[in-house]
């Protein structure tokens, strides 16, 4: 049944509280868990559910997202029939930033009309999860639903399954009905649609703020969360980048942390996530921190509750102390040498 399911990823979302990490990248392209991007999770869920036709709708700063996804080869979506489609949409005043805005989808109606799949799964790009959409579709069909909304603990994941024909109709009739997005439809208790709810039971994180990003990253250092998300039977795929193994000096000490390939660790790392090609010099101590790719940390630095974007340089002796609910964030490419305490 999954062969009749079309995947739609709405990557038009932006969040003011994430601006410092998304000034030059789409939210969907935000790095997480050492080697992944946010979009990897929903895209992998679709591929693992047998979906072979996926469209990504970005709106702004999508160059890094386009580079990451490429032809879709890493998700087995580089194919002549169906595959991965990248469909940018312009900013529209009427869309008002709503998730799954019908105005956004209307710009590429030809894609929807030509797709052969009977059903569509419409999802956002910033949710970290591992969902079997085949199970959701079976539930949808068995209960004869018009629209099925996916929730966890009664909180919406802003993911919906419906017939593609109905989605096209809702888009075409949006001006007459006043519906601007799928959320409007399911929240209209006077509509004639049969709306159902599917309860998702696995690990979930919605990355819509710095705190949410930091907390989700720290959560993934816990075995119970990691094992729910990264399953052997439903792997999370990403763009492959070959790097040599990380090197550790005799003085280094790493505990309860995640370290990607290509890094050089000479200091102490505790309860932290280190992306690829990071250099941490001797005498430096990192705790409860996230360090993105190609960042360099000098000698005798002390970092606690810190998020360093890619290509950051931390000068010798720098002290950065944040807090669990207010981590210090250093944006991409900055050279930091000041003493900072939140």
- Burial group, residue 36, by CB count within 10 angstroms (0-12, 13-18, 19+): buried
Residues, the chain:
342
Strand order across the beta sheet in which 53-58 lies: 83-86, 53-58, 5-11, 119-124, 155-163, 147-152, 195-199
Q: Using the predicted structure, report yes or no on whether residue 242 has a pLDDT greater than 90.
A: no
Q: pLDDT band at 339, cuts 50/70/90?
A: low
Residue 342 scores a pLDDT above 60: no
Tell me what pLDDT residue 335 has.
86
Q: What is the mean pLDDT of residues 284-307?
A: 97
CA dihedral defined by 259, 260, 263, 267, rounded to 10 degrees? Answer: -10
At residue 71, the pLDDT reads: 95
Say whether pLDDT at 7 is over 90: yes
Give yes or no for a contact between 299 and 285, defined as CB atoms under 8 angstroms apart. no
Confidence label for 98 from pLDDT (cuts 50, 70 and 90): low
If you average pLDDT over residues 45-70, what whole number do you get? 95
Whole-number CA gyration radius for the chain: 21
pLDDT band at 100 (very low <50, low <70, confident <90, very high): low
pLDDT category at 340 given cuts 50, 70, 90 is low
Q: What's residue 91's pLDDT?
A: 66
pLDDT tens by residue, 257-276: 999 999 999 999 999 999 99
Of 104, 70, 73, nearest to 90 by C-alpha is 104
Q: How many CB atoms lie within 10 A of CB 139?
A: 17
Give the pLDDT band (50/70/90) at residue 13.
confident
Domains of the chain, CATH where assigned:
2-229 (3.90.550.10), 247-341 (2.160.10.10)
Q: What is the pLDDT of residues 140-164, one digit of tens each?
A: 999 999 999 999 999 999 999 999 9
pLDDT band at 95; cut points 50, 70, 90: very low
How far apart (Å, rounded) are the C-alpha atoms in residues 90 and 333? 28
What is residue 96's predicted lDDT score, i.e. its pLDDT? 45
CA distance 223 to 88: 37
User: In degrees to the nearest 10, what's the CA dihedral of 305, 308, 313, 315?
Assistant: -10
**Does 1 score more than 80 pLDDT?**
no
Least confident of 102-106, 192-196, 334-338: 334-338
Q: Are the beta carbons of 41 and 87 closer than 8 angstroms? A: no
């Amino acid at each position: 049944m999954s062969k009749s399911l079309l995947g739609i990823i709405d990557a038009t979302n932006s969040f003011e509280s994430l601006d410092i990490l998304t000034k030059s990248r789409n939210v969907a392209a935000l790095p997480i868990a050492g080697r992944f991007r946010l979009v990897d999770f929903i895209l992998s869920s679709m591929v693992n559910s047998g979906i072979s036709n996926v469209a990504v709708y970005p709106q702004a700063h999508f160059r890094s997202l386009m580079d990451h996804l490429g032809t879709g080869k890493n998700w087995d979506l580089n194919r002549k029939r169906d595959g991965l489609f990248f469909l940018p949409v312009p900013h529209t005043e009427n869309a008002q930033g709503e998730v799954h805005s019908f105005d956004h989808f209307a710009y590429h109606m030809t894609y929807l009309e030509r797709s052969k799949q009977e059903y569509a799964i419409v999802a956002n790009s910033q949710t970290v999860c591992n969902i079997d959409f085949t199970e959701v579709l079976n539930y949808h069909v068995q209960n004869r639903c018009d629209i099925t909304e996916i929730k966890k603990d009664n909180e919406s994941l802003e993911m919906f399954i419906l017939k593609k024909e109905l989605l096209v109709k809702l888009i075409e009739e949006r001006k007459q009905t006043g519906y601007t997005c799928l959320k409007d439809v399911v929240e209209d208790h006077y509509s004639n649609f049969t709306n159902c709810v599917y309860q998702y039971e696995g690990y979930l994180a919605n990355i819509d703020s710095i705190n949410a990003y930091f907390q989700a990253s720290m959560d993934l250092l816990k075995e119970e969360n990691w094992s729910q998300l990264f399953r052997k039977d439903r792997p999370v795929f990403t763009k492959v980048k070959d790097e040599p193994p990380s090197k550790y000096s005799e003085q280094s000490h790493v505990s309860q942390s995640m370290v990607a390939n290509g890094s050089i660790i000479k200091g102490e790392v505790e309860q932290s996530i280190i992306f690829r090609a990071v250099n941490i010099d001797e005498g430096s101590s990192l705790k409860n921190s996230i360090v993105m790719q190609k960042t360099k940390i000098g000698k005798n630095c002390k970092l606690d509750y810190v998020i360093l974007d890619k290509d950051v340089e931390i000068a010798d002796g720098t002290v950065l102390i944040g807090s669990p609910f207010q981590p210090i964030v250093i944006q991409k490419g900055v050279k930091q040498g000041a003493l900072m305490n939140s």
